[in-house]
Amino acid sequence: MNSLRGGIAGIGMTSARTRDRLVERLRSHGIRSEIVLNQIRSVPRHLFVDEALASRAYEDTALPIGHGQTISQPYVVAKMTEALLDGFEGEKVLEIGTGCGYQTAVLAPVVKKIYSVERIPELLRKTKQRLRELDIYNVQFRPGDGWAGWPKYAPYDGIIVAAAAQVVPDKLLEQLAPGGRLVMPVGPPGYQQLTLVRHLHERFEQSPLGGVSFVPLVPGS
């Protein structure tokens, strides 16, 4: 387990009360995992957005982070993390779309190792520095094409994808361990469905988790 400096007492402009309100909102919308809710409470989301947007960091909404990307809505981060960890057995998680690192920071203390792929080098550089400042060291990063995954360290017990595709990429399915779980948005803009894929040894089973709106998973590095 890693620790996040500052804990839930509040860092800088934020307070425990502000974070508790967000957690109660997520609980009222169906998030049940206390592990996930505690991570949402603990991670200083205001450090993952521009200073001008820090006052909105604990609203349950997506916010721009530059380069045409967004920090995901806390409910969606919680939903994806809860789906990934439900019955999770294993150690390694592949994350496609590091972004600003918020999802990474929520997940890092509760899994042994994360391998994270991001196609925008400048975004990745800032995120690596930010996570180091939060004492998160169990994440390995690579700039590159999310469609290709990261075969070197496969198979993965879990895969989490923070961008949408029309179908689940075959190369990601190939890198999912038997018994593993993959969570990602699937579908065209306006009709995306958060989807859970379970690798049931001989087959893959897909389950819808609700409508979402994500930036597209862009092929190529």
Name the residues annotated as catalytic: 72
Secondary structure string (H, E, C) spanning the chain? CCCCCCHHHCCCCCCHHHHHHHHHHHHHCCCCCHHHHHHHHHCCHHHHCCHHHHHHCCCCCCEEEECCEEECCHHHHHHHHHHHHCCCCCCEEEEECCCCCHHHHHHHHHCCEEEEEECCHHHHHHHHHHHHHCCCCCEEEEECCHHHCCHHHCCEEEEEECCEECCCCHHHHHCEEEEEEEEEEECCCCCEEEEEEEECCCCEEEEEEEEECCCECCCCC
Residue 34 neighbours by CB under 8 Å, 6+ apart:
none
Tallying the residues shown for the chain, one arrives at 221
Whole-angstrom Cα distance, residue 142 to residue 126? 13
